[in-house]
Each structure stands twice: as C-alpha cells, then as structure tokens.
Amino acid sequence: MLYRTAGQFKTSYEADQALFPVKQDAFLLGVILLFAWVIFPLTASEFTFQAILIPVLIFSLAAMGLNILTGFAGQLSLGTGAFMGVGAYACYKMVTLMPWMNPVVAILLSGVFSAGVGVMFGIPSLRIKGFYLAIATLAAQFFLVWLFEKWAWLYNYNQSGAIQVPNLEMFGTFVSGPQAASVTEYYVVLAIVTLLTLVCINLTRGNLGRTWKATRDMDIAAELIGINLMRSKLTAFAISSYIVGVAGAMYVFMWKGAAEPNAFDIPLSFEVLFIAIIGGLGSILGNYLGAILIVGLPVVLNLVPATLGLNWSSATVEHLNVMIVGSLIVFFLIVEPHGLNQLWRLIREKLIIWPFPH
C-alpha cells in the first residue's frame, strides 16, 4: 500500500541502478532529512541535542567507518576507539597550534591523520586474516591509548593529561567549545555526517565498493579475477580510519568538550562494533538504526519512569535500563542475525508486495 510500485517503470539500466529505484524510498528519505534539518532543530531542547541527537549522529558515523572496513571489506578491527582518539588528538593539536584554522576544516583534516595511522596498522592485514587481524588491531588499541597518556606534547603538557576543547569561532559564531550553542554544534555534526554518508553510499556502490566486497567474500577468488588485494585492503583501512577519525574529532569537539586518554579505550571500540553488528554489517542505514538502539534508546528509557511519575531510584533505573537494552540486542539478533538493516529491508519488501504473500 505505502510501497506500491505499480506505474514506476524503468526503461534504462541507469534508472534501474539509481540510488532510489522506488520512489517511496526517496520520499521517506526526504521526510527524514526534513526532520533532521528543520523539525528537530526547531523543537529539540538542549538536553535532546546533547544527550540524543548529537551522540547518535556521531556514533552512526563512527560505526559507518567501521562498517566500511568490517562490513564491506571483511577486515575485522577492534581498534576503532583508538582511531577515534587519533582524530581527536590531531584536531586538538591543529586548533591549538593554528588557532586561525576553520574548525570544520580542522575536523575534516584530522581524519587524514587517523587514516595514516589506520593504514599503518592495516599493513598486517596483507598477511593475516580474521581473528588474527582483530588481535593485531587490538595492539593498535593498546598502543595508541598508551601513547595518548605518555606523549605529553599531544595534550599540550596539560597538567591533568586531558584535552580541553577551546572556544572555536566560524564566521563570528562559536561552533565548538563551551560557548557554542547546542543547535550550532548539531548543524555542524549533521552537515559533516550527511556529507560523509553520501560519500560512503557512493563509494560502496561503485568500483571500489565492489572490489571490497569481492575481497570480503573470498580474497583468493578476488585476486584470481585481477583485484589488487593490497590496494583493496589498504584503501578500506584508509577510508574507514578517515571516517572514524572525523567521528572521533567530533566526539570530543562537538560533544564531550574534554577527554582523557581513557575515553578512547576498548569499551568505545566495542560500543561502535556493537552498533555496526546490531545495525547490520555491510549496510549504511544500519549504522543509524544501531546507534539509535545503543546510544539513543538508553537515554530515552532513563526518562520513562520519571515521566510516568514513578519514583524509582536512579540506580534501579540504570540497572533496568541495562537489562532492557541487553535483552533487546539479544532479541533483535535472534529475530534477524543480519541486523536491523536487514529487518527493515524485509519489512520494505513485504510492503512492496502487500497484500500478497509472495
């Protein structure tokens, strides 16, 4: 009914391979973009910006970066948190060394540093695969966090060892730091996330994406048909780390405001990995759905008892919250092991042929 495709004829290959072969998809995306760009910013409170909208977007982007590497190119990585840290520290050094620099440019550039580091730690992927590679990236995780702690130059010899986001201006308004309004931060995050999502969608649909998928599905076969495995794997590491690094820079500059090295420790890597898995490996939309479930839902659930007027202690609510989110994760993975993205795809396909069963 909602997804009736009757009357939508494709007369060329191009039309058939377009981003939105079904008109309703484009419409749906339009509605979502309208909400994201106009309706949320107009209606959201500061709490919604800080606790839901901004973190969900940033985590979606981080998961998207990981998804390029793990979901599309098939290279397991446990170092996401550390690569996010590289982005954050790079951004910090840039804005403190060059205060005149445009903050958005600094954020976008900081990904370059994490891409470099990512490629370095991606080199082992040419020789080892699967879990062994995951352990190699785990080494990156430990090494980089150690480096953030020990290399005092990185945090400008700050006595507390943490990086503090200074107030950063762009065209006369504060876009980062304590003086920045939440709505400005949100728009910056949204613009960057939208841009990089667009890039990701097109990358994964294009030539590069196809070589990644071939590498993922069977690397020997891919090599036999003439795919340069080294190029395929290292570009995946570079692009993935770039996106993760940008997400890391925004994580500190657009959201947290300060970070100690420990913030980029392994729990962060796991959180991003969970989002990618729950959302669905090898998908773009899944990252958003996963981030909504893992980052957004606990915040919303925390508010429920108070809204209902139940006077439960905060610790009880937190315990319940962990239980509910945990069981939801288990539930979704049982119902659809390929993640929320696949669940949505099935629903969509069923809607297209509705009311017929086949």
Partner 1 sequence: MKHFAKLAAAALVAGAMGTAALAESLYAPNLSYRTGPFAATGIPLMNGQKDYFEMLNARDGGIGGVKIDFAECETGYSTEKGVECYEKTKGQAIVTQPWSTGITLQVLPKTNVDRIPILAPGYGFSPMADGKVFQWAFNVPSGYWDAASMIINYIDNEAGISGKKIAFVHLDHPYGKEPIPLFEKKAAEMGFEFLPIPVGLKEMQNQSAQWLQIRRERPDYVVMWGWGAMNAGAITEAVKTKFDMSKFIGVWWSGHDADLAIVGEDGKGYKSISWSFPNLDAPVMADIKKHVVDAGISQSNETEMQGVFYSRGIVISMILAEGIKTAQDHFGTAQINAEQLRWGLENLNITEARLAELGMEGMVPPFATSCANHTGHSGGWMLEWDGAKFVKVSDLLMPDTSDYADLIAEKAMEYADANTPWEMNEACNVTN
* Interface residues toward partner 1, by CB under 8 A: 46-47, 50-51, 55, 96, 149, 156, 159-162, 164-167, 177-179, 255-260, 262-263, 265, 299, 302-303, 307-311, 313-315, 317-319
Cβ proximity of 282 and 298 under 8 Å? no
The Cα 341–Cα 334 span in angstroms is 14
Q: How far is the CB of 97 from partner 1 (least distance, A)?
A: 13
| Residue with smaller CB distance to partner 1, 116 or 161 | 161
| Residue with smaller CB distance to partner 1, 116 or 305 | 305
Q: Give CB contacts under 8 A, 24+ apart, made by 319-326.
A: 325/293, 325/294, 325/297, 325/298, 325/301
The Cα 129–Cα 235 span in angstroms is 16
| Residue with smaller CB distance to partner 1, 174 or 344 | 174
| Residue with smaller CB distance to partner 1, 31 or 303 | 303
Backbone angles phi, psi at 209, to 5 degrees: -60, -40
Q: How far is the CB of 165 from partner 1 (least distance, A)?
A: 8
Hey, what are 232's tokens? Answer: 């395929």
| Residue with smaller CB distance to partner 1, 42 or 315 | 315
Q: How far is the CB of 260 from partner 1 (least distance, A)?
A: 5
Q: How far is the CB of 293 from partner 1 (least distance, A)?
A: 16
Query: Is the torsion defined by CA of 14, 15, 19, 21 positive or negative?
Result: negative
CA R_g for the chain: 21
Q: How far is the CB of 325 from partner 1 (least distance, A)?
A: 13
Hey, what are 227's tokens? Answer: 């795919």
| Residue with smaller CB distance to partner 1, 194 or 302 | 302
Q: How far is the CB of 317 from partner 1 (least distance, A)?
A: 7
Q: What is the H or E stretch that residue 318 is in?
A: helix 314-335
Three-state secondary-structure class, residue 309:
coil
